[in-house]
Structure 1
Amino acid sequence: MERAIVHMDLDEFFVSCEKRNNSQLANIPLIVGGGDRGVVASCSYEARKFGVRSAMPMRMALKLCPDAKVIRGDMELYSKLSREVTQIIEEEAPLFEKASIDEHYLDITGMDRFYGSYKWTTELAQKIVRETGLPISFALSINKTVSKIGTGQAKPKGKIQIPQSDVRSFLDPLPIQKIPMLGDVTYQLLSRIGVRNIKTLAEMPVEVLQQLIGKNGIELWKKANGIDYNPVEPYRERKSLSTERTFEQDSIDVKAMRSLLTAMCEKLAHQLRTEQWLTSCVVVKIKYANFDTETRQASLPYTAADHVIIKTAHELFEKNYQRRMRVRMLGVNLKGLVHGNYQINLFEDTLEMLALYQAMDKIKLRFGFKAVGRAETILKDNL
């Protein structure tokens, strides 16, 4: 049986959320992002006509489009609307995966036996637009890769069906940048040897591609040929990441416990970014010397930023630690995870902050997590 995999992507999501709340923002160049030293988180199609793109420095974006209206953004609003869309999909789809704050994959294989898959998906998209007011595009095809590329071609407010027989004719003329997860370094390497469209890439001997770019060469060749067996992973809202520390001796050293809390949050936030997760809930757990346990949690807009998570965790610790008894164990749990690439708060952080996180993550991945960190975390070893 031919698989039926849908990729649904909310069009210019942050911008669409703002337009939904303010109709005066329609049909104008609109940029959602930080201040002069920040970056573009999202931009309207009217702004894109001037060359503005996501992740572009704001100063450059405003040089390209000086008349654009800039909004700092409201991640709490975007998180809320994202959950509304997910709830609608959850009520209708037999199996779905939330790939990011604005993307979903659906496996509707076998639907044709009861109801046309393309018609069913069209009606689901119409329901999302009707109930949330957010525009959405989708592609229906045989696997995740082809569907995701298809959605990119269908935007904005578009839909497309790509059956098995049409996969190669659809993919072949497209530039290789359309392949998901093909980075700039790989593109530059392939471009230098004349490989600029998917057809050329697909027809390369896989052994040559593997020698050229390493183990990822095989996966890249498969994607160019429309081959992708990755399943749609069932969405589980309750998935979490956590860590805790039981002290060798019960402690009342509040300064050291705060430092430990910071170190825990750093570790979990790094794991979030490495695995491309975002969290929407922080939980702090304290177990006292008499084994009484207290927990406190707080919701927050989807994030994977150390400083946001650390600030929330410290606030919870201050509210939680009221007894001033000796503490036996301290723990942090991050819940409400979704996959996503909005790794830090693009509306509040500067280019320097973005660069700092990227540099720290690279150092940690190469030399180990303890290779770099905040100075205060050295106190954690006192416990």
Structure 2
Amino acid sequence: MAAKRYIVHIDLDSFFVSVERKFNPELIGKPVIISGSAERGVVASCSYETRKFGVHSAMPTKQALKLCPDAIVIHGSHDRYSEASRQVTQIIHDAVPLYQKSSIDEFYIDLSGTERFYEPYKLASQLRQRIIKETGLPISFGMASGKTLAKMATNKAKPNGQIFVPHGKELEFLAPLPISAIPGLGESTCNKLYAYGLEKIGDLQRVELRFLETVFGKAGTWIWEKARGIDSGEIVPHSDRKSISTEHTFNDNVSDKKTLETVIISMTEELAGKLRRENKLASCLAIKIRYGNFETHTQQEKIPLTAAEHIMIPGIKNLLSKAWNQSRSIRLIGVRLSQLTTGSYQINLFEDNEERIRLYQAMDRINFKFGDKTVCRAAGMEIGTRNFNPFLKD
């Protein structure tokens, strides 16, 4: 018989809004939207007071304000959110044996085995109270036998609550929930299930696996398992690579600024795409140049956490100007993104407008399907990925 698992999913409620309320308590209880601008921005985060009007993340801010005209729009602060996330991460790091940071405001914790010494739910409850006390941020958690079920429990516990789904009670907990509550179940799949009269997870639990496999192929097995709380996904320890980089060696030494900028733009775009695919953000840029005599120079600078090349490219071009003695030709050039942390590009939503977000999403989908550089900026088109020698550094 397999040992019981105790998986905890932690989510900081309305994280960006909660951080802003720490700095300005007058925002407490009021409808708040974190965004770049009221006209062209998108919603990075919103308070529960706005959600009852239908406002949600990634919605155009203009549309959100039509739904909730009294909402207060605030331009987000990278540094504040990064620091708050760091504080929470440190508390969890000091308190538990195994955890995974899945985004800037979400964590998975594996307390399996601790039941021999301590009651896992009590341990998770004490950890939640410690985070609330030391950071002043509201937090919810769900505990269950697997990651997906724990996340669903957290969503049920919000705002600022906690739920434990006991072993053997998985089906009972899931049955009344709508099928849309299953993380990763897309809108089109839900609509297909609705067409068969399947609206609640309990409806899915009564369907035979063979039917779901016939309709959805391999995804049918995934749906069948999620409806039953079956999830063997492991907690990946929080020890990720700290940097990502790429270099390009020229056949002939180069001293033309336009050519060099074309190369570093292309490399920066490639690395930023890798960050987004791996759910990473970088907070340090660096450039490396090697002259014809193999003399090598590097230059770096700190930036707000990002995975967006339109934010990185101006900094990379500036570093090139600082590092390069323009009277000398260059043999090799490289770009490095470091001080990586787990987190989605959502942290940058308050810097961007709706069109830019959609552009990035479309570019990433195409490049993931057909290969890097299938779609890129015109400035980077002259350099193909086959000329690059990317490497990853731990």
- Supply the distance in 2 between the matched residues of 1:258 and 1:343 (Cα, whole angstroms): 28
Q: Name the SS for the 2:235 alignment partner.
A: coil
- Supply the distance in 1 between the matched residues of 2:25 and 2:352 (Cα, whole angstroms): 27
Give the TM-score normalised by the residue count of structure 1. Answer: 0.94
Q: What amino acid does structure 2 have at the position aligned with 1:209?
A: L
Q: Report the CA distance shift for 1:126/1:55 in structure 2 as closer, same or farther (over 3 A).
A: same
Match of 2:7 among 5, 8, 29: 5
1:89 aligns with 2:80: no
Q: Report the CA distance shift for 1:210/1:311 in structure 2 as closer, same or farther (over 3 A).
A: farther
Task: Report the counterpart of residue 343 of structure 2 in structure 1.
Answer: 340
Task: Report the counterpart of residue 141 of structure 2 in structure 1.
Answer: 138
Aligned pairs, number: 383
Q: Report the CA distance shift for 1:254/1:145 in structure 2 as closer, same or farther (over 3 A).
A: same
The Cα of 1:124 is off from its aligned counterpart by: 1.2
Check whether the contact 1:305–1:344 (CA below 8 A) recurs between aligned residues. Answer: no
Identity of aligned residues (%): 48
Task: Report the counterpart of residue 74 of structure 2 in structure 1.
Answer: 71
The Cα of 1:237 is off from its aligned counterpart by: 4.9
1:56 aligns with 2:59: yes
Task: Please give the residue correspondences for 1:102-117 in structure 2 after superposition, counting only pairs within 5 Å.
Answer: 102-117=105-120
Task: Please give the residue correspondences for 1:305-316 in structure 2 after superposition, counting only pairs within 5 Å.
Answer: 305-316=308-319
Task: Please give the residue correspondences for 1:261-340 in structure 2 after superposition, counting only pairs within 5 Å.
Answer: 261-322=264-325, 324-340=327-343
The Cα of 1:323 is off from its aligned counterpart by: 6.5
Task: Please give the residue correspondences for 1:169-248 in structure 2 after superposition, counting only pairs within 5 Å.
Answer: 169-248=172-251
The Cα of 1:250 is off from its aligned counterpart by: 2.5
The Cα of 1:298 is off from its aligned counterpart by: 2.7
Q: Report the CA distance shift for 1:130/1:168 in structure 2 as closer, same or farther (over 3 A).
A: same
Q: Report the CA distance shift for 1:324/1:267 in structure 2 as closer, same or farther (over 3 A).
A: same
- Supply the distance in 2 between the matched residues of 1:333 and 1:220 (Cα, whole angstroms): 40
Task: Please give the residue correspondences for 1:365-376 in structure 2 after superposition, counting only pairs within 5 Å.
Answer: 365-376=368-379
The Cα of 1:251 is off from its aligned counterpart by: 2.1
Task: Report the counterpart of residue 33 of structure 1 in structure 2.
Answer: 35
Q: What amino acid does structure 1 have at the position aligned with 2:265?
A: T
- Supply the distance in 1 between the matched residues of 2:221 and 2:251 (Cα, whole angstroms): 49
Check whether the contact 1:304–1:344 (CA below 8 A) recurs between aligned residues. Answer: no
Q: Name the SS for the 2:63 alignment partner.
A: helix
The Cα of 1:344 is off from its aligned counterpart by: 6.7
Q: Name the SS for the 1:226 alignment partner.
A: coil
Check whether the contact 2:44–2:346 (CA below 8 A) recurs between aligned residues. Answer: no
Higher mean C-alpha deviation, range 243-252 or range 107-116: 243-252
The Cα of 1:3 is off from its aligned counterpart by: 1.0
- Supply the distance in 1 between the matched residues of 2:229 and 2:149 (Cα, whole angstroms): 6
Structure 1 unaligned segments of length 5 or more: list them.
Answer: none
Task: Report the counterpart of residue 24 of structure 2 in structure 1.
Answer: 22
Check whether the contact 1:280–1:337 (CA below 8 A) recurs between aligned residues. Answer: yes
Give the TM-score normalised by the residue count of structure 2. Answer: 0.91
The Cα of 1:290 is off from its aligned counterpart by: 2.6
